Structure 1
């Protein structure tokens, strides 16, 4: 099923490798194709999508993503709708203190997001050098803002 999304430029790579929000005026329309997961775990869905994507600032398509676009694509593939930007994603979720696979984990006051897959691991789109892949939630420079769940 094809969905046309407004890809909002949400992250600028800082020298620390942490993404920062930018203005929505830089938005570009792109077409993204999502396949709904059927019986797959969030971890396998996230790994599968990550294997087919590279990191590109502001991107949200079948080839390239930024952190919030990656989170949005994974959540859509498991049947959950989340907004495009990290800050809107935080507002739409419910903060939880017992993270489970499928929650989103936010860092540094919402400047970065990853898909939590359990056991202290996440899959995220970090930057052009680090790419889109699985890594520890403690790999990110800075602090964990919180874990958020979507229904």
Structure 2
């Protein structure tokens, strides 16, 4: 056995802070009591009836740590909730933008389809009208009738074209069968106003180029009092969309469309809106 085995360790065990606080409070209370007792033995006084409360030190560090941990956990939960809400808002905005884009594309497709359908309907209507024109033309005579004699078809005797009017009518009829070309001014093809302008040039008269202006080139005349060489127009005066030359006998010569070209037609087939007389 070691010669120091019987000697106890000189190191004192460590005491906790809470125990030290309690012992300090007890020691303080004892010393205060002894001091008061000594004073009482020297001088007689009334017995002390007041109770002294000793302060208690709150050193419960565990509860403070737990509170701090709980607070930190709460803060983390709030941050996580805010992050989730932000993510949901972003998803909602993205979804709304996608829906708006899809709706716009669908609306555009619908508009395109409606436009295409309208164009197709217009094309079919034009084709049917042109077909009717061809059918009616085939029923009529290809040669120009003698308008100086009344017939069941021509009605009353029409005035015979003379002078400048004859030059205009003869030129217009000589162009029947030629092609219609938009913007054409001859000699192999014409559009409606190009044909009228070229016909009047034979009489030494210069007309405006466009049908709108040609419809206001002369004085207005009634459709029941037409003379050969008068200008017929369709649409409003000053904004006409088509013109032709009246050749007598209730007929006109005009450059109709690319399908039919330049033809001679009865006014009953496509009655004009009005007429003007330049001669």
After TM superposition, is the score higher than 0.5? yes
Q: Give the gaps of 5 or more residues in structure 2.
A: 1-121, 130-162
Q: Could you tell me whether the CA contact under 8 Å between 1:49 and 1:74 is conserved in 2?
A: no
**So what's the TM-score if we normalise by structure 1?**
0.67
Q: Greater strand percent: which structure? A: 1
Distance in 2 (alpha carbons) for counterparts of 1:91 and 1:39: 20
Is 2:274 the counterpart of 1:149? no
Between the two proteins, the alignment pairs up a number of residues equal to 116
Q: Greater helix percent: which structure? A: 2
Which residue number in structure 1 is paired with residue 268 of structure 2?
Answer: 138
- The two structures, once aligned, show a CA RMSD in angstroms of 2.3
Q: Could you tell me whether the CA contact under 8 Å between 2:234 and 2:241 is conserved in 1?
A: yes
Which residue number in structure 2 is paired with residue 10 of structure 1?
Answer: none
Q: Give the gaps of 5 or more residues in structure 1.
A: 1-13, 19-37
In the superposition, relative to structure 1, how do residues 68 and 40 fare at CA in structure 2: closer, same or farther (>3 Å)? closer
**So what's the TM-score if we normalise by structure 2?**
0.38
Distance in 2 (alpha carbons) for counterparts of 1:127 and 1:113: 12
Runs of 4+ in 1 over 4 A off after TM superposition: 14-18
Report which of the two structures shows the higher radius of gyration computed on alpha carbons.
Answer: 2
Give 1:1-151 correspondences, 5 Å limit: 15=123, 17=126, 41=166, 42-51=168-177, 53-97=178-222, 98-109=225-236, 110-140=240-270, 144-151=272-279
Shift of 1:85: 0.5
Higher RCO (CA < 8 A, seq sep 6+): 1
Shift of 1:91: 2.0
